[in-house]
Amino acid sequence: MTNTQLYLISPLEVGGDFPARLERALDAGKGLVTAFQFRVKGIENHDAARLAAPLQEICAAHDVGFVVNDSVTLAKRLKADGVHLGQGDGNVKEARAELGREVQIGVTCHGSKHFAMEAGEAGADYVAFGAFFDSGTKETEHRAELELLNWWSQLFELPCVAIGGITPENCVPLVKSGADFLAVSGAVWNGDEAAAVSAFTKAISEADQASAS
């Protein structure tokens, strides 16, 4: 069992054959994929809920946490396992009051130690740092350095997520630097999702073995 786990982020298009693709990715990533983030933009909560329903069922069947991006109201409506908040998406304490103790709350912290410590103090369940590489999924406004993962993992118990342009080919330094999760989107959905997840499994496992030896 690897220490670093995979956190899948959906493409913006999650209709059509996407539920079948998610199922394939989760089948390929048993024990490695532990969370899936539902990330859609510019659609009403009613339509988002309809798109989310089959994906949420697939995640539940695979024992993978279903996390809603940005929207506390949608997370509440779906009874999601978690919500992920950007720096402009409201604060952790309000989200906690709305969603209760059991729901996982993650916070985007870019490359900022200050944001991460603030999120931890406010009661976040994980912090996300990035982008570590250029991303094809969203514009890279903020960059994070490997040393940030090292610093965080040595000082704090709170899990950290690395995000931004991560591929099976470039993920090894992130694993060795202490990332608890790798958040990936394009590297999985832009090709054969099962093959991509298998490639991540191999790379992470080799990096963990190298770190342990």
pLDDT per residue as tens, the chain (213 positions): 358 999 999 999 999 999 999 999 999 999 999 999 999 999 999 999 999 999 999 999 999 999 999 999 999 999 999 999 999 888 999 999 999 999 999 999 999 999 999 999 999 999 999 999 987 666 667 889 999 999 999 999 999 999 999 999 999 999 999 999 999 999 999 999 999 999 999 999 998 777 777
Question: CATH for 5-212?
Answer: 3.20.20.70
Residue 22 dihedral angles phi and psi, to the nearest 5°? -60, -45
166 contacts 183 by C-beta, under 8 angstroms: yes
Q: ∠ CA 20-25-31 to the nearest 5 degrees?
A: 135
Which one-letter DSSP state was computed for residue 127?
E
Indicate the pTM of the whole model.
0.95
Contacts for 42-49: CB closer than 8 Å, 24+ residues apart = 45/71, 45/73, 45/74, 45/77, 48/74, 49/74, 49/77, 49/78
d(CA 34, CA 32): 6
